[in-house]
Structure 1
Amino acid sequence: MNKLLRMFSLIAVFGIVTGCSINHPIAKDYPAFLSKNAGTGDLPKTELDTDYSIAGSTESHRYEFRAATVGYAHVWIVEFGKILDQTLNAPYVQNSFGRFDKRLNNSDSAGSLVQFTLENYEFKNYRAYVSVKIELTKDAEAVLSKTYSAEGDSKGGQMWGAGPFGMKSATLASTKSAIDNILKQFLNDIPNP
């Protein structure tokens, strides 16, 4: 028994020293999460017909964190740009605009464009903290430029109670609620046409 305990201890020490971790990229599970939870985003409506784009730094964003509540070996990877793009394409967001399409060629300055640039993303205290600069232009003229910040819903109970499975869902839910709060603020600030 002592030999077994010593062997287990050596394996545990080796794992800690070498940095063994279990990666959880959560963006890949967001489409399924969004399809189940899309109805939770009650957004204001606008008749604005516009394109949108996501800044390159936002599209390539990657935030990693650990949470002792579910085991320190787990690394949660949030790719905010992917989550934002999937949210912006969700029917409840699309239905908030007259037209809302992703612009693939940013050199085209005709018409309206909404540009999303992530300024900060953190997951701490059981919730997401998000700041996004949103710029609305019409024919390359600035109409609105503002940084919006929001805290996602706290998901401490879910993180404590359901382990790693609950952690992924908690991170997705809190991030979605922060994005929805930012979109509500932005939609309310859009000037009437």
Structure 2
Amino acid sequence: MKKFAYLLVLVLCAGVTGCSFNHPIAEDYGTYLNNTKGQNNLPKAISPAEYELATDTQTHHYEFRSATVGYAHLWVVDFGKVLDATLESTDVQQAFGTLQPKHGSAGPLLTFELQDYRFENFRAYVTLNIEVTSAGQSLFKKAYKVEGNSQGGKMFWGGPFAMKNAIQQSTKLALDEILRDFIKDFNQLNLAKS
């Protein structure tokens, strides 16, 4: 009971004085992905590939507050770091055989460009443009727009203690759906002619 009273006083003090508790989501996103390994059911890609993130995607920075878990908490999503961790995760690597940062091989290059990321209505909204090029020629380009699963119950009952996981989970589920759809499209390309 003392811990709850202490926490309540701390939260009220932070709200009154304008203090903010920053929560960087990307900081341990790789660990989160390791803990959820094997849960995304990605199809196998027809070819290994290289990837790069567009400059705006690498430097993307999104901050928000949520009334559900308290305005004293500032949630920070650096999407480029989240996407890098996703592309380097065991599940994505297994789907492609190898997917590595661009270093100039002759194989296909996947370029990821974030169009929109936000966390609203208890879920992540992601619009990600993916282009496939090979030998300097564009083979495919498509924007994938997905909303992650709602995490309202987790946020309501778990408060700030569950919020980080809620953001990570909804973001991961959105990215999983994008990657599943993209790999299906990627597998339709005739890479032998490129």
Q: TM over 0.5, yes or no?
A: yes
Match of 2:29 in 1: 30
**1:94 has 2:93 as partner:** yes
Match of 2:167 in 1: 171
Q: Normalising by the residue count of structure 2, what TM-score does the alignment of the two structures yield?
A: 0.86
**Letter of the structure 2 residue corresponding to residue 142 of structure 1:** S
Q: SS at 1:118's partner residue?
A: strand
RMSD value over aligned CA atoms? 1.8
Of 147, 158, 164, which residue of structure 2 is paired with 1:162?
158
| Structure with larger Rg | 1
Summarize deviations over 1:13-58 as a string: whole Å, max 9, x none: xx65764211111111212211111221111111212110111111
| TM-superposed deviation, 1:109 | 7.3
**Overall identity of the aligned pairs, in %:** 47
d(CA) in 2 for partners of 1:79, 1:18: 27
d(CA) in 1 for partners of 2:137, 2:17: 53
The 3 A distance-change label for structure 1 pair 109 and 34 is closer
Q: SS at 2:119's partner residue?
A: strand
Q: SS at 1:46's partner residue?
A: coil
The 3 A distance-change label for structure 1 pair 43 and 192 is farther
Of 109, 124, 147, which residue of structure 1 is paired with 2:120?
124
After superposition, where does 1:1-193 map in structure 2 within 5 Å? 19-103=18-102, 105=103, 108=104, 110-190=106-186, 191-193=189-191
Q: SS at 2:38's partner residue?
A: helix
Match of 2:3 in 1: none
Q: SS at 1:172's partner residue?
A: helix
The 3 A distance-change label for structure 1 pair 110 and 192 is closer
d(CA) in 1 for partners of 2:58, 2:66: 24
| TM-superposed deviation, 1:59 | 1.0
Match of 2:6 in 1: none
Q: SS at 1:66's partner residue?
A: strand
d(CA) in 2 for partners of 1:100, 1:16: 45
The 3 A distance-change label for structure 1 pair 157 and 100 is same
d(CA) in 2 for partners of 1:18, 1:192: 60
Summarize deviations over 1:60-89 as a string: whole Å, max 9, x none: 111101101111110100011101000101
Contact 1:109/1:139 (8 A) holds in 2:
no
Contact 1:61/1:79 (8 A) holds in 2:
yes
Contact 1:47/1:98 (8 A) holds in 2:
no
d(CA) in 1 for partners of 2:100, 2:105: 14
5+ residue gaps, structure 2, are 1-8
Summarize deviations over 1:149-189 as a string: whole Å, max 9, x none: 11111100100111112000000000001111111111011
d(CA) in 1 for partners of 2:17, 2:111: 42
Contact 2:124/2:167 (8 A) holds in 1:
yes
